[in-house]
Amino acid sequence: MSVEVRSPDGLLRVVVAVVDGRLRYEVARRGRVLVASSGLGLDLAGWPSLTGGLVLESLQHNTIDESWRPTWGSDAIVRNHANECVLRTVRPTSGLRLELVVRVFDDGVGFRYRLPAQSGLDAYTVTAEHTEFALPPTATSWSLEAGKDWNADERHYRRAPLADVRTAQTPLTLSTVDGQHLVVHEAALVDYPSMTLAAIGPGTFTSELISLPDGAKARLRGEFRTPWRTLTIGDRPGDLAESHLIENLNEPCALADTSWITPGTYVGVWWELQRRHTTWTAGPHHGATTARTKEYIDFAKEMGAGHVLAEGWNSNSGGTWSGQDFLTPQEDFDLAEVLRYARAKGVGFVAHNETRGFVDDYDRSLETIFARYAELGISAVKTGYATKFVLGGVHRSHFDQEAVRHYQRVVDVAARNRLMIIAHEAIKPTGLSRTHPNLMSGEGVAGMEQQHYKGEHGNPPEQATILPFTRFVGGPADYTPGVLNVTWDPAGLGTRVQTTAAAQLALCTLFFSPAQMLADTPENYRAHPGTEYLRGLPTTWDETRFLDCGIGDHVVSARRKGGTWYLGAITDEHERTLRVPLSFLGPGPHLAEIFRDAPGTSWHHDPLPVDVRTEAVDASSTLALRLVAGGGAAIRLTPS
Ligand code: NOJ
Ligand code: CA
């Protein structure tokens, strides 16, 4: 017997069945197969496999239809509308029960396993998950190779025929030959390892969970629900970037009071460290001094930025980062004075906690550190797990079950102390910010930090035209865009940012983070006319549209806050002219303030000049945007 579940609009059809004792599913949209019949199931240590011998016991159909308001997000109101089916199966030989919950939305599918409370399953071990995805092998795909290393997500997306992909992290994005677009990812990654994908045939993958140090995948107790395995699906690439599927598959907000969560831009002692102008470590070139941090606070106030970060503020920062104390400042950093000054200017302070993989120490002192931060009035913490990850006394992957549990503890302890979290080198986003909106953003991306390391081989411009349809489908990223002096090289590194300055302006709204860093230094900003665009920049939106987009080619996004739209357009390494109809504007005349590459600008030779001009437009206007290679345009549209 098979069960059909359709999306509310009827276009998407999922069929689930128990075939020869194994749960299987297939997905079609507009009558075209997107996932051919694919097997499901899990293995638990000491039990017969749940990939066979199953009998379907009962079914339950439900409809979900609610609208909710995110604490922050890309749209002010989100509709969660899906048809659901719960399939209850049993393996009669062992008596073990396995349930599958399937939800079908207009913009995709989510399914998860449930192990209901049952005798014999008090404490148990998942040794493998066998969720298969028989995807169209002829599709074009974008993904990162699977890896368990700390920087596996901080790589460049590969474009490849899906049939050639051997392993992948999620999100894995593909475009089919008949023009449908799909992202494989997961939602609500709680108390379980990260899922990667391994090919078992051309275009067919099976889930490969990141192992604990002893090879087991997950140690669980009692009733358990796995993360959702998700397929975000649309006709346009923009549908993937606009989708709320991942958030809809997470639980509602768990916090009674969210008034202390304050989205906004932030600035700070960071890019000057990355460019080796100053140092994290104590010494004559130490960056995070009291005086320097105050300059950033003044600049934050000037820009309407909400927060200031000062990396290298605490004892033993930099170097080996060992023996750090996240409460004791360096000698030339007067924490009380910095906090007093910031408070007087209405600016929050982001404390940097770079664990450098000494996670046991961090985990043990979390409660103490965060309680003290709360007393001091610190508003946010930027965590870091660069290089190793030692937890439970052993080296482990950044993405295994215990690591996932650690990141969650950080978010929970932070919430109790009214602290927002920006997590670097942690886990890919899976929509948990719906439930825990103090989790502002994560890294999991080759951001600006990677952009300038490898000279001409830093992040090629094309990468930014791939990210909205891959990495950002999972959630916000702390990419830290907005470097306007892209050639600034005070230490003679011989490397630079591989875009024009105008493209950097565009990225500040095209990439979503409720805590968006404006990464350049106050001096560089004050010297650049593009800075005007970033003053008072919102970071959370009433409405978002992705307009003309080609994955890996060009992106045009438009986000609205109140009556003002911010349009960002970027291109890859090819110059192109994009025609952008402004039909999304409300009625009446608008003023368009256009910041774009000045004539003669080029990403290779003269990337800094930005031409600023205004134009009167309305909803019937079409803008012709000529973008230079590696360039972009940023446009603020205000009712006039
Ligand atoms: C890596 C982080 O991604 C970066 O933002 C930070 O500056 C360094 N680690 C030092 O903690
Ligand atoms: Ca990093």
Q: For residue range 511-564, what is the model confidence (pLDDT) as tens digits?
A: 999 999 999 999 999 999 999 999 999 999 999 999 999 999 999 999 999 999
Pocket of ligand 1 (CB under 6 A): 270, 311, 354, 384, 386, 424, 443, 449
How far is the centre of ligand 2, averaged over its atoms, from the C-alpha of 459 (Å)? Answer: 14
- Asked whether residue 448 is domain-assigned, the answer is yes
* Cα–Cα distances in angstroms (integers) from residue 480 to residues 175, 424, 441, in the given order: 28, 11, 11
Question: What residue's CA is closest to ligand 1, atom 9?
Answer: 386
How far is the centre of ligand 2, averaged over its atoms, from the C-alpha of 121 (Å)? Answer: 39
Q: Are residues 535 and 555 in the same domain?
A: no
Calculate the average pLDDT of the chain. 97
**What range defines the domain where residue 571 resides?**
550-639
Q: Which ligand is nearest to the CA of 275?
A: 1
Q: Are residues 563 and 581 in the same domain?
A: yes
- Asked whether residue 518 is domain-assigned, the answer is yes
The residue whose two tokens read 């079409």 is 622
How far is the centre of ligand 1, averaged over its atoms, from the C-alpha of 387 (Å)? Answer: 10
Q: Which of 269, 424, 425, 448 to mutate for ligand 1's pocket (most ligand atoms within 8 Å of CB)?
A: 424
- Asked whether residue 254 is domain-assigned, the answer is no
**pLDDT tens digits, one per residue of 415-434:** 999 999 999 999 999 999 99
DSSP 482: -
Q: Which two tokens stand for residue 449?
A: 């930090």
Q: In whole angstroms, give the CA distance from residue 430 to residue 439.
A: 11
Q: How deeply is 346 buried, as exposed, middle or buried, from its count of CB atoms within 10 A (0-12, 13-18, 19+)?
A: exposed
Band of pLDDT at residue 456, cut at 50, 70 and 90: low
Q: Are residues 95 and 135 in the same domain?
A: yes
Q: Which of 154, 311, 451 to mutate for ligand 1's pocket (most ligand atoms within 8 Å of CB)?
A: 311
Ligand 1 atom at shortest distance from the alpha carbon of 384: 11
- Asked whether residue 616 is domain-assigned, the answer is yes
Ligand 1 atom at shortest distance from the alpha carbon of 274: 7
Q: Which two tokens stand for residue 619?
A: 């909803």
Question: What residue's CA is closest to ligand 1, atom 10?
Answer: 354
DSSP letter string, 341-408? HHHHTT-EEEEEEE-TT-HHHHHHHHHHHHHHHHHHT--EEEEE--S--EETTEE--TTSHHHHHHHH
Q: Are residues 363 and 489 in the same domain?
A: yes
Nearest 5 degrees, angle CA 474-CA 476-CA 482?
140
Q: Are residues 341 and 449 in the same domain?
A: yes
Q: How deeply is 326 buried, as exposed, middle or buried, from its count of CB atoms within 10 A (0-12, 13-18, 19+)?
A: buried
Q: Which of 273, 320, 354 to mutate for ligand 1's pocket (most ligand atoms within 8 Å of CB)?
A: 354
Count the alpha carbons within 13 Å of 116 in the hemisphere toward its beta carbon.
13
**pLDDT tens digits, one per residue of 14-61:** 999 999 999 999 999 999 999 999 999 999 999 999 999 999 999 999
Closest CA to 172 of 539, 377, 531, 466: 466
Count the alpha carbons within 13 Å of 176 in the hemisphere toward its beta carbon.
19
How far is the centre of ligand 1, averaged over its atoms, from the C-alpha of 384 (Å)? Answer: 6
Alpha helices in 41-162 (DSSP H): none
- Asked whether residue 259 is domain-assigned, the answer is no
Q: Which two tokens stand for residue 474?
A: 């999972």
Q: Are residues 347 and 465 in the same domain?
A: yes
Closest CA to 516 of 219, 174, 264: 264
**Total residue count of the chain as it appears in this document:** 640
Which pTM value belongs to this model?
0.98
Q: Is the pLDDT of residue 453 over 60?
A: no
CB-based neighbours (< 5 A) of ligand 2, an ion? 424
Ligand 1 atom at shortest distance from the alpha carbon of 447: 3
Contacts of 488 (CB under 8 A, 6+ apart): 275, 496, 520, 521, 524
pLDDT for 457 equals: 63
Ligand 1 atom at shortest distance from the alpha carbon of 273: 7
How far is the centre of ligand 2, averaged over its atoms, from the C-alpha of 425 (Å)? Answer: 5
Q: Mean pLDDT throughout 173-192?
A: 98
Question: What residue's CA is closest to ligand 1, atom 3?
Answer: 424
317, 326 in Cβ contact below 8 A? no
Ligand 1 atom at shortest distance from the alpha carbon of 280: 10
Q: Is the pLDDT of residue 371 over 90?
A: yes
Give the domain-ending residue among 519, 540, 561: 540
How far is the centre of ligand 2, averaged over its atoms, from the C-alpha of 424 (Å)? Answer: 6
Q: In whole angstroms, give the CA distance from residue 541 to residue 241.
A: 14
Q: Which two tokens stand for residue 86?
A: 């719960």
How far is the centre of ligand 1, averaged over its atoms, from the C-alpha of 359 (Å)? Answer: 16
How far is the centre of ligand 1, averaged over its atoms, from the C-alpha of 374 (Å)? Answer: 23
pLDDT for 1 equals: 81
Q: Are residues 521 and 391 in the same domain?
A: yes
How far is the centre of ligand 2, averaged over its atoms, from the C-alpha of 278 (Å)? Answer: 18
Question: What residue's CA is closest to ligand 1, atom 1?
Answer: 386
462, 591 in Cβ contact below 8 A? no
For the chain, what is the domain count? 3
Question: What residue's CA is closest to ligand 1, atom 7?
Answer: 270
Walk across the sheet containing 515-517 and list its strands.
439-442, 420-423, 380-384, 348-354, 307-310, 264-269, 515-517
Band of pLDDT at residue 227, cut at 50, 70 and 90: very high
pLDDT for 452 equals: 62
- Asked whether residue 273 is domain-assigned, the answer is yes
Contacts by 525-531 with C-beta closer than 8 Å and gap 24+?
A: 525/299, 525/303, 525/484, 526/299, 527/485, 528/484, 528/485, 528/501, 528/608, 528/610, 529/610, 529/612, 530/484, 530/501, 530/502, 530/504, 530/505, 530/595, 530/610, 530/612, 530/634, 531/303, 531/484
- Asked whether residue 256 is domain-assigned, the answer is no
Count the alpha carbons within 13 Å of 381 in the hemisphere toward its beta carbon.
30
Q: Which ligand is nearest to the CA of 354?
A: 1
How far is the centre of ligand 2, averaged over its atoms, from the C-alpha of 478 (Å)? Answer: 10
Q: Which ligand is nearest to the CA of 355?
A: 1
Q: How far is CA 110 from the centre of its chain?
A: 18
Q: Are residues 421 and 501 in the same domain?
A: yes
Ligand 1 atom at shortest distance from the alpha carbon of 424: 3
pLDDT > 70: percent of the chain: 99
Give the domain-ending residue among 509, 540, 571: 540
Q: Are residues 203 and 175 in the same domain?
A: yes
Ligand 1 atom at shortest distance from the alpha carbon of 354: 11
Band of pLDDT at residue 600, cut at 50, 70 and 90: confident
209, 266 in Cβ contact below 8 A? no
CATH of the domain at 44: 2.70.98.10
pLDDT > 90: percent of the chain: 96
Q: In whole angstroms, give the CA distance from residue 169 to residue 445.
A: 12
pLDDT for 451 equals: 73
How far is the centre of ligand 2, averaged over its atoms, from the C-alpha of 264 (Å)? Answer: 21
CATH of the domain at 609: 2.60.40.1180
Q: Are residues 522 and 422 in the same domain?
A: yes
Q: How deeply is 562 buried, as exposed, middle or buried, from its count of CB atoms within 10 A (0-12, 13-18, 19+)?
A: exposed
Q: Are residues 531 and 615 in the same domain?
A: no
Band of pLDDT at residue 604, cut at 50, 70 and 90: confident
- Asked whether residue 9 is domain-assigned, the answer is yes
Band of pLDDT at residue 148, cut at 50, 70 and 90: confident
Bond into 171 cis (ω within 30): yes
CATH of the domain at 424: 3.20.20.70
DSSP letter string, 581-634? E-TTS-SS-EEEEEEEEPTT-BTTTB---EEEEEEEE-TT-EEEEEE-TT-EEE
Q: Are residues 67 and 135 in the same domain?
A: yes
Q: Which ligand is nearest to the CA of 350?
A: 1
Band of pLDDT at residue 458, cut at 50, 70 and 90: confident
How far is the centre of ligand 2, averaged over its atoms, from the C-alpha of 233 (Å)? Answer: 29
Q: Which ligand is nearest to the CA of 386?
A: 1
Question: What residue's CA is closest to ligand 1, atom 6?
Answer: 384
Give the domain-ending residue among 248, 278, 300: 248
Q: Where are the beta strands (DSSP E) in 11-74?
A: 12-19, 22-29, 32-39, 42-44, 55-68
